[in-house]
Structure 1
Amino acid sequence: MPETVTPLGDGPGSEPGGTPGGTPQPPRGGRGRRTALIAAAVAVVAAVAVVGALGLGGGDGGTGAPPRSGSLVPVTRTTLTERTEVDGELGYGKEIPLPVRATGTVTWLPRPGAAAGRGDTLLRVDDRPVVLLYGALPMYRDLGLTAARPATPAESAPPPAGPGAPAKPSGTAAPRQSAPASPRQSAREVKGMDVLQFETNLAALGHTGFTVDETFTARTAEAVKRWQGSLGLPRTGRVGVGDVIYAGGRIRVGHAGVRVGSAAAENALTYTSTSRKVVVNASAADASWAVRGTAVRVTLPSGTTVKGVVASVGKQATAASEGGGKDGSEQGGAATVPVTVTIGDQRALGRLESGPVTVAYVGREVKDVLAVPVAALVALAEGGHGLETADGAFVAVRTGLFADGKVEVSGRGVREGLRVRIPE
Structure 2
Amino acid sequence: MAETDTMTHFDDGTEPADTEPPRGVRGRRTALIACAVVVVAAVAVVGALGLGGGEEEHPSAPPRAGSVVPVTRTTLTERTDVDGQLGFGTEIPLPVKATGTVTWLPQQGATMERGDTLLRVDDRPVVLLYGSMPMYRDLGLTATASASDTGASDAGQSDTGTDAAAPSASPSPSTGTGTGTGAGAPAPLTGMDVLQFETNLATLGYTGFTVDEKFTAATAQAVKRWQKSLGLAETGTVGAGDVIYSAGKVRIGQPGTRLGETVGEDTLTYTGTSRKVVVNASAADASWAVRGTAVGIALPDGKSVKGEVASVGRQASAPEGGSTEGESGAGAATLPVTVTIADQKSVGRLESGPVTVEYVGREVKDVLSVPVAALVALAEGGHGLETEDGRFVAVRTGLFADGNVQVSGSGVTEGMKVRIPE
TM class by smaller structure: 0.5 to 0.7
Distance 1:317 1:155, change over 3 A: closer
1:140 Cα offset (Å):
0.4
Amino acid paired to 1:77:
T
The TM-score with structure 1 as length reference comes to: 0.67
For 1:386, the equivalent position in structure 2 comes to 385
Q: Looking at CA atoms only, which structure, 1 or 2, has the larger radius of gyration?
A: 1
1:204 Cα offset (Å):
2.0
3-state SS of the aligned residue for 1:256?
coil
Aligned: 1:95 with 2:91: yes
- Superposed counterparts of 1:325-364, under 5 Å: 330-364=328-362
1:201 Cα offset (Å):
1.4
Q: Is the 8 A contact 1:73 1:422 kept in 2?
A: no
Distance 1:373 1:331, change over 3 A: closer
1:108 Cα offset (Å):
0.7
1:380 Cα offset (Å):
7.4
3-state SS of the aligned residue for 2:254?
strand
Partner Cα separation in structure 1 for residue 131 and residue 372 of structure 2: 55
Aligned: 1:108 with 2:107: no
3-state SS of the aligned residue for 2:100?
coil
Partner Cα separation in structure 2 for residue 395 and residue 148 of structure 1: 97
Partner Cα separation in structure 1 for residue 124 and residue 412 of structure 2: 78
The farther-off stretch of 397-406 and 267-276 is 397-406
Distance 1:419 1:209, change over 3 A: farther
Give the CA RMSD over aligned residues: 3.9
Aligned: 1:296 with 2:300: no
Amino acid paired to 2:340:
T
Gaps of 5+ in 1: 1-39, 45-50, 57-67, 160-179
Amino acid paired to 2:398:
G
1:393 Cα offset (Å):
6.9
Partner Cα separation in structure 2 for residue 152 and residue 302 of structure 1: 76
For 1:400, the equivalent position in structure 2 comes to 398
Deviations 1:134-153 (A, max 9, x none): 11111001111123345569
Deviations 1:201-244 (A, max 9, x none): 12222223322221112222222222223322233222111111
Q: How many residues align?
A: 335
Distance 1:217 1:70, change over 3 A: same
Distance 1:399 1:333, change over 3 A: closer
Deviations 1:97-141 (A, max 9, x none): 101011222111001111111111100112221111111111001
- Superposed counterparts of 1:124-139, under 5 Å: 124-139=120-135
Partner Cα separation in structure 1 for residue 413 and residue 68 of structure 2: 18
1:364 Cα offset (Å):
2.3
For 1:253, the equivalent position in structure 2 comes to 252
Partner Cα separation in structure 1 for residue 298 and residue 235 of structure 2: 54
Aligned: 1:75 with 2:76: no
Partner Cα separation in structure 2 for residue 420 and residue 305 of structure 1: 35
3-state SS of the aligned residue for 1:408?
strand
- Superposed counterparts of 1:12-23, under 5 Å: none
1:155 Cα offset (Å):
7.4
Distance 1:228 1:73, change over 3 A: farther
For 1:317, the equivalent position in structure 2 comes to 316
The TM-score with structure 2 as length reference comes to: 0.68
Q: Is the 8 A contact 2:284 2:328 kept in 1?
A: no
Amino acid paired to 1:364:
R
Distance 1:408 1:99, change over 3 A: same
Q: Is the 8 A contact 2:71 2:368 kept in 1?
A: no
Deviations 1:274-308 (A, max 9, x none): 12222222222332332222222222233333222
Distance 1:222 1:306, change over 3 A: same
For 2:142, the equivalent position in structure 1 comes to 146
3-state SS of the aligned residue for 2:97?
coil
3-state SS of the aligned residue for 2:320?
coil
3-state SS of the aligned residue for 2:219?
helix
Amino acid paired to 1:274:
T
Distance 1:420 1:182, change over 3 A: farther
1:323 Cα offset (Å):
12
- How high is the sequence identity, in percent, across the aligned residues? 64
Partner Cα separation in structure 1 for residue 315 and residue 414 of structure 2: 49
Distance 1:154 1:342, change over 3 A: closer
Partner Cα separation in structure 2 for residue 319 and residue 403 of structure 1: 32
For 2:307, the equivalent position in structure 1 comes to 308
The farther-off stretch of 139-148 and 306-315 is 306-315
Distance 1:395 1:117, change over 3 A: farther
Partner Cα separation in structure 2 for residue 322 and residue 356 of structure 1: 24
1:200 Cα offset (Å):
1.6
Amino acid paired to 1:82:
E
Q: Is the 8 A contact 1:77 1:416 kept in 2?
A: no
For 2:48, the equivalent position in structure 1 comes to none
Amino acid paired to 2:211:
V
For 2:116, the equivalent position in structure 1 comes to 120
Q: Is the 8 A contact 2:106 2:252 kept in 1?
A: yes
1:76 Cα offset (Å):
2.7
- Superposed counterparts of 1:260-299, under 5 Å: 260-299=259-298
Gaps of 5+ in 2: 1-12, 18-25, 33-64, 156-179
Q: Is the 8 A contact 1:76 1:372 kept in 2?
A: no
1:252 Cα offset (Å):
0.9
Partner Cα separation in structure 1 for residue 347 and residue 392 of structure 2: 47
Q: Is the 8 A contact 2:83 2:279 kept in 1?
A: yes
Q: Is the 8 A contact 1:322 1:332 kept in 2?
A: no
Partner Cα separation in structure 2 for residue 129 and residue 192 of structure 1: 25
Distance 1:323 1:192, change over 3 A: closer
Q: Is the 8 A contact 2:132 2:247 kept in 1?
A: yes
For 2:188, the equivalent position in structure 1 comes to 189
Partner Cα separation in structure 1 for residue 377 and residue 131 of structure 2: 68
Partner Cα separation in structure 2 for residue 291 and residue 83 of structure 1: 16
Partner Cα separation in structure 2 for residue 380 and residue 281 of structure 1: 39
Partner Cα separation in structure 2 for residue 155 and residue 385 of structure 1: 97
3-state SS of the aligned residue for 1:228?
helix
